[in-house]
A and B are shown apart, each in its own frame.
Chain A
Amino acid sequence: MISAVISLGGIGLGAAVILGLAAKKFAVEVDPKEEAILEVLPGANCGACGFPGCGGFAKAVVAGEADPSACSPGGSSVTAKIAEIMGVEAASAEPMVAVVNCQGDNQKAQNKYKYLGIQTCASAQMLAGGPKACPGGCLGLGDCMVACPFGAIEITAEGLAVINREKCVGCKKCVSACPRNVITMVPKSATVSVLCNSHDKGPAVKKYCQVGCIGCTLCKKTAEEVYAIDNFLAHVTYDTYDHEKAKAGMEKCPTKCIRDFAEGYPEGSSFQP
């Protein structure tokens, strides 16, 4: 009994000494600033900053290789904290959110065929360019939802991806996951967007979608500063965004493809503004 206690205790003691020595000998010098920054970062390791995880970003900031405001998930509060640690003036960047430029769910938009196979947008897109008749519309199989590290994307019952503007941190993972490039980044404060991604002419769009942009230019005629038409598709010019004017243009849209997210999310979404 005694011998067992002694031998086990001895082994434990020996191991502890070796571990302690090793920790001293092989200790890696870490800049305390780096640790402090890592402390304030969200820790999602999303990669939105372009560095390998939060650790990589912290290191880059200390080395002066990264802009303290590059952490989009953290937003301005994290930027301010990093700036404080680094002792620099915080440059405030407008927070961006991702938006799905489509409202054509399975009720509102036609499919040219019924897809059977691997249930991902990327796979469906490779089969005759995707089942949606619209060449730009959301396929609704959720590649963006899977890619989102923050659980900010839902797929409605009728197969439309919707991004929650509160949960979205602007990491752009969904933008690169979408095979149809339906998702774009917009300033969070600019809540009005043209939710259509089809450059087809009006009659063609009308054939396959009830809520598509037909390029009628009414929005632009109403608020020239806020809207532009590019190849039969309207979009909001965010550089010159003015909420009231954007709303005025929105009212005029005959197909209701312009939406103010402050008023509500697309039909079928569970998100509340």
Chain B
Amino acid sequence: MELKTFRGGLHPPDNKKWSDKKAIEVCPLAEGDELVIHLSQHIGAPAEACVKKGDLVKKGQVIGTPKGFVSVPIHASTSGEVIAVEPRIASAGTMLPAVVIKADGEDAWDEGLVGGDPDTMTPDEIKDKIKDAGIVGMGGATFPTHVKLSPPEDKKIEYLILNGVECEPYLTADDRLMLEDPESIVEGILILKKVLGVDKAIIGIEANKPDAIETMTNACAGKGVEVGALKVQYPQGAEKQLIFALTGREVPSGGLPMDCGVVVQNVGTAAAVNDAVRKGIPLIERIATVSGAAIAEPKNLKIKIGQPLSKLVEFCGGIKGDLGKVIQGGPMMGMAAVSLDVPATRGTSGVLLFAEDQVLKEPEGPCVRCGNCVRACPAFIMPTEIATMARNSMFDEAEKLNAMDCIECGCCTYICPARIPLIQSLRQAKGAILAKRRKV
């Protein structure tokens, strides 16, 4: 059978073998460890701290309340004392407001957390539970889940698509989750189906994860959930590309998946939804892959939100050799971190330690118009033309060339023989265009 995929894109070496056979381990937390929990770990308005220095908090207790609809509460990842509420360095290198908790080592749960039976709850009750638990998209984009589950009345949702693609090289967190806890995922999918009122649910998994495909197929048997095997191609995990691969539908330019009757959720999100609804557990932990050539022993870890990356690295045997770059997320779209002192957030799907010789240092040359970027672009735009406009601050022209349709997947830059950082220019163009739109 020919496997489905989308048009465009490319196939970078996946480098998943370093960690795909490693079972998920819990990254330990000792008494006295400091957790730095940022109040803005999601897309949307930052939460507002509702604890102050000196307060004692329990694991799972709300420490930041949401402001607005597109916002989620923030919870304490462990029990202990709040030792500061102040700006701390975030992965983007800037100082952002955070609650710092000194762990008391007991890791005691807040007793007020209660679960429910999704079968007897109404969709709105379930949505409230999901919002209260602070669930956001676990693929890395961290968009509040309850917002995605609240399409406007006039949008008919027909498909729920579960993203188990994990197309980023190195990352194996979703893969391991599907192998080790398929029940939670399936239960979560059933809850999401109920909230959205859809019949069809498909889990998209790439063919390079045969074990996960088999496990999920078995777990889904008789539950009304399909598994769609996909040809390996990056960026299949991008929402619009995944929808096209599985359903053949195109999300309209500038629109959202719900505009073509689809809601996409990450498999990790489905598992988190299950925990939140049935047990009342908020989003205080997640699974992250620690890998790369400069880590002693690559692992898949269950980490607490707020643990500094250095703790994760330490648990994986520390740095091996000459460390050059630290990446939060995958190598194609992840963000480089300024240091290992930054804390893990709800979006930390992986921590990659690249050795000095893995860092791309080739200077950029002139564009030779080879067209590789145009052919690789899954959004069918012309990256090199837009980048040229952006470099000359011609943002109106860049907008006309569909700069806003760029999904920042990085394919163009990955394939460019002249080593031009096209994505950097495209991001600048998108930023400038958005700023202009806000002004108007």
Contact = CB atoms under 8 A, between A and B. Distances in A.
- A–B: direct contact at CB < 8 Å: yes
Interface of A: 112-113, 116-118, 122-123, 126-129
A129 B425 CA distance: 16
A15 to B, nearest CB: 39
**Interface of B: prevailing SS:** loop
B421 interface: yes
B50 interface: no
A112 B338 contact: yes
A59 to B, nearest CB: 27
B338 A128 contact: yes
Contact of A126 (B359, B360, B391, B428): B428
A123 B338 contact: no
Nearest to A113: B338
B391 A112 contact: no
Given A112-B93, A113-B93, A126-B428, 14 more contacts: A112-B338, A112-B339, A113-B336, A113-B338, A116-B359, A117-B421, A117-B424, A118-B421, A118-B425, A122-B428, A126-B431, A127-B424, A128-B92, A129-B94
B439 interface: no
Contacts of A113: 93, 336, 338
Contacts, number: 30
Given A128-B92, A129-B94, A118 B424 contact: yes
A116 B425 CA distance: 13
B308 to A, nearest CB: 16
Contacts of A116: 359-361
A123 B338 CA distance: 16
A116 B421 CA distance: 9
A196 B360 CA distance: 33
Given A112-B338, A116-B360, A116-B361, A123 B428 contact: yes
A127 B233 CA distance: 28
A118 B429 CA distance: 13
A116 B324 CA distance: 12
Contacts of B391: 118
Nearest to A116: B361
A116 to B, nearest CB: 6
Contacts of B360: 116
Contacts of B431: 126
Contacts of B361: 116
Nearest to B95: A129
Nearest to B423: A117
4 smallest beta-carbon distances between A and B, as pairs = A128-B93, A117-B421, A117-B424, A113-B338
Contact of A123 (B92, B94, B424): B424
Interface string B127-139: 0000000000000
A128 B424 contact: no
Contacts of B93: 112-113, 127-129
Interface in B412-431: 421, 424-425, 427-428, 431
Interface in B333-350: 336, 338-339
Contacts of A118: 364, 391, 421, 424-425
Contacts of A128: 92-94, 338
Contacts of B92: 128
A129 B87 CA distance: 15
Interface in B43-71: none
21 contacts: A112-B93, A112-B338, A112-B339, A113-B93, A113-B338, A116-B359, A116-B360, A116-B361, A117-B421, A118-B391, A118-B424, A118-B425, A122-B428, A123-B428, A126-B428, A126-B431, A127-B93, A127-B424, A128-B93, A129-B93, A129-B94
Contacts of A123: 424, 428
A125 to B, nearest CB: 11
A128 to B, nearest CB: 3
A174 to B, nearest CB: 16
Contacts of A117: 421, 424
Contacts of B336: 113
Nearest to B324: A114
Contacts of A122: 428
Nearest to B391: A118
Nearest to B360: A116
